[in-house]
Amino acid sequence: MNLIVDPILFLPTFYSFREAMVEERVGFDVIRAALVGYSENYWEDWMNSWMIWFPGHVVTYGIAPPALRIPWMSMLSFGYVCVLSCTRGQIDEPAETPQQAEEKAKLRRNLSRRASIVGIRIHDSEDPRVVARKKSKELS
């Protein structure tokens, strides 16, 4: 069942809903973008599905007693959703606008200037807010 249903129905629907939630709108262009994403990842998604569902169905219908089939399938479904979330759950951060970059640089300069007054050295790679929190905890 999953050999056909996942590639044809489930995964395209998953990608479409995911794209609609990320874009916060629905339209043909959103569905097209979702299907483009699916076409880039389909082989890995199919392999993940088949690695879970084929052995899972063997256990369900060949080994598990009837009373444990529903709990077993629930656990298997939860595991599949976890795998799907780990492999396709990442949402790319939007690109930083020039205004945001300038605001961030201004905050960094201001914090560096204030930190140098009290003798704190801030490294460029560290987030100024994190450094400030660490220093305030040390002073407390």
Q: Can you give the pLDDT at residue 58?
A: 94
Alpha-carbon separation of residue 131 from 123, 124, 126, 128 (angstroms):
9, 11, 7, 5
Note the pLDDT tens digit of each residue in 93-121. Answer: 667 778 877 888 888 777 776 666 666 55
- Residues 46-67, buried b or exposed e (16+ Cβ, 10 A)? eebbeebbeebeeebeeebeee
Predicted model pTM: 0.59
Q: What is the pLDDT of residues 2-59, one digit of tens each?
A: 788 889 999 999 999 988 988 888 889 989 998 998 999 899 999 999 999 999 999 9
Q: Distance between CA atoms of 69 and 85, rounded to whole angstroms? A: 24
